Structure 1
């Protein structure tokens, strides 16, 4: 969608996690608008990690500057935040297969939020912080949807069922957003706007992004799911729409609070079907849905993160969320599901990550 926003190019903005999947599209649109971006990264000398952003910056009117920073180190964002009016905190790990959930998920999400938002308190120029949270902070399992008012998730709902042991990624996003709420309430100089995306798909700035989304789509084309896929209810949104929502949250004065960013209430089988007409003859796109009893029986054997409890609470259970606030207050116009999935799949084909 066109970037019809009152963007101020007079001061820089900071984007934590600038090399990430969603942040890459944010960087692209801001550079094209003429904004100077401060990008704190773990290692500014890793040109392979910065390649795709640098290619955009070469021809864009904006500029990007890199700074060394560590999510777990207090004070490491000080230099990058200097002079910035807006801070985007997108950096947080997204992984479903971890060995130490506290170390790999919760610590980076929670301590990173404390470090970035705590640093905002020390910079008088910062007027707004946009936090990338997740719908995972709104619900734990699809079974929780039935407990929401009217059986539909809204920004008023919170995840109360995920724990460090069960759904640790969702737990990490929940405690991180709650921590952000505490920090913003303790001061009055800057405000906080929160973006809560559902599952993000779509082509990346880099075709080799490490997001779990890419791993899932690869399985649609590499034969992993050729016998079928479960009807695991899920919300889906295009990465480009999520990026736009972040920018609208930053620059629209009326933006406030949480925003569910989700274009489609769907499931994995329905997602796979959007690829069949274009790719079904050449790739083993799953064309059957698996019965719940079978998924329950075999899931832990093939995927340790897909427990039988998770199957019971999510497979054949619809995911339903209300995205009207994002449309009304941020002006998000959601792309069709088929467009998102086909363009992402094609990118993986062209980059050699899915082969016939």
Structure 2
């Protein structure tokens, strides 16, 4: 079949696909935290779409690992280069943004366990976000997409439905340090945008993922989600906490980031990237159990026990604020703007478990 023809202003005829590829190839996207769970998937989606990607890492020693990961996933990484950035330092941010059309600011410190001091997590999250915004605007970037979390909306709720208008109460003693860091970082981003002149062309979009599941792009299973699933299938998590909140597949999160980057109607909006119905730890455990993972525990931990453990265990303390949650999300913006059809959660859970099991067997 002959390719479609596009008439360029000079009268020269060229295939439409060639024109589109040429336009995309001229666009460069900075992805901060490119070596992370979400960052790798975002970079892969961008490269597959023909963009040039500049990935930031805390140390350039990570470059080899990222390139090997892309190769193992059959992603052409010839348009991928790297810069070294630290969320707590100004060095390199101006150079990293130079010549970029878009920025996906994915990098943020994450652990379920509360740190010894909250500033260890909050300061890098807030200051890193502001550094990313200022550098992007100064470099003439069109739009920055910030990776936040539904925790910045639902952190102090227990039941009902939350949407883009909701904000977590950062003064609540029930929320984890991670929840507080994501909320304060996102608020700082919107406050920064409000401080700009009215005729400002620089745009911000915030993507708020739910609990993220799905197979990693590479062989790194050290992230919080993979660690949790690994413990479950290994029988090291005999009891599960009583909580349920919206979750999402990591591959969906990456695709939503790309849509948020280019969709005109997304500018200035908070985009919930999560299933509308809550998913409990018990449901995930039961899905694994039914699929042959016999060592998975399917008993619910008493809240009193977890509250007691929180005095001695920082991970248990990070879970306390989520106990008894049963929340729905209003994900209509992502569904309507991007025509998003979420990946079924059972598929995400099982494919995560399969990946963790395979990697542990081949590296153990």
**TM-score normalized with structure 1 length:** 0.86
Q: Which moved more, 1:188-197 or 1:50-59?
A: 50-59
Q: Does 1:60 find its partner at 2:76?
A: yes
Aligned equivalents of 1:354 and 1:223: distance in 2?
Answer: 19
Residues 65-107 of structure 1 deviation map (CA, whole Å, 9 limit, x = unaligned): 1112111112422112111111110000111224344442111
Structure 1 partner of 2:188: 179
Structure 2 partner of 1:214: 226
Residues 6-46 of structure 1 deviation map (CA, whole Å, 9 limit, x = unaligned): 98332211111111111111111111111110112222134
Contact 1:225 1:285 in 2 (8 A): yes
Aligned equivalents of 2:301 and 2:356: distance in 1?
Answer: 25
Contact 1:19 1:50 in 2 (8 A): yes
Superposed displacement of residue 277, structure 1: 1.9
Aligned equivalents of 1:203 and 1:162: distance in 2?
Answer: 35
Q: Given the superposition, is the C-alpha separation of residues 327 and 101 from structure 1 closer, same or farther in structure 2, using an over 3 Å criterion?
A: farther
Match of 1:335 among 331, 336, 343: 343
Structure 2 partner of 1:251: 262
Match of 1:139 among 122, 138, 154: 154
User: What secondary structure does 2:259 align onto?
Assistant: helix
Structure 1 partner of 2:10: none
Match of 1:318 among 302, 318, 326: 326
Q: Which moved more, 1:195-204 or 1:93-102?
A: 93-102
Q: Given the superposition, is the C-alpha separation of residues 310 and 64 from structure 1 closer, same or farther in structure 2, using an over 3 Å criterion?
A: closer
Contact 1:235 1:262 in 2 (8 A): yes
Q: Which moved more, 1:97-106 or 1:325-334?
A: 97-106
Match of 1:238 among 235, 242, 249: 249
Q: Which moved more, 1:335-344 or 1:315-324?
A: 315-324
Contact 2:69 2:219 in 1 (8 A): no
Q: What pairs with 1:1-356 in structure 2 (closer than 5 Å)? A: 8-55=24-71, 60=76, 63-124=79-140, 126-141=141-156, 144-146=157-159, 151-161=160-170, 166-187=175-196, 188-226=200-238, 228-256=239-267, 257-263=269-275, 264-281=277-294, 284-297=295-308, 299-300=309-310, 303-307=313-317, 311=320, 314-352=322-360
Aligned equivalents of 2:30 and 2:319: distance in 1?
Answer: 37
Superposed displacement of residue 304, structure 1: 3.3
Superposed displacement of residue 199, structure 1: 0.7
Contact 1:52 1:205 in 2 (8 A): no
Q: Alpha carbon RMSD of aligned pairs, Å?
A: 2.8
Q: Given the superposition, is the C-alpha separation of residues 259 and 44 from structure 1 closer, same or farther in structure 2, using an over 3 Å criterion?
A: same
Unaligned runs of 5+ in 2: 1-19
**TM-score normalized with structure 2 length:** 0.85
Superposed displacement of residue 294, structure 1: 4.7
Aligned equivalents of 1:37 and 1:262: distance in 2?
Answer: 26
Q: Given the superposition, is the C-alpha separation of residues 237 and 79 from structure 1 closer, same or farther in structure 2, using an over 3 Å criterion?
A: same
User: What secondary structure does 1:332 align onto?
Assistant: coil
Aligned equivalents of 2:299 and 2:305: distance in 1?
Answer: 13
Q: Which has the larger radius of gyration?
A: 2
Residues 329-352 of structure 1 deviation map (CA, whole Å, 9 limit, x = unaligned): 122211111100100100111111
Superposed displacement of residue 57, structure 1: 9.1
Structure 1 partner of 2:13: none
Contact 2:205 2:270 in 1 (8 A): yes
Unaligned runs of 5+ in 1: none
Contact 2:60 2:84 in 1 (8 A): yes
Contact 1:27 1:53 in 2 (8 A): no
User: What secondary structure does 2:219 align onto?
Assistant: coil
Q: Given the superposition, is the C-alpha separation of residues 17 and 164 from structure 1 closer, same or farther in structure 2, using an over 3 Å criterion?
A: farther
Contact 2:32 2:106 in 1 (8 A): yes
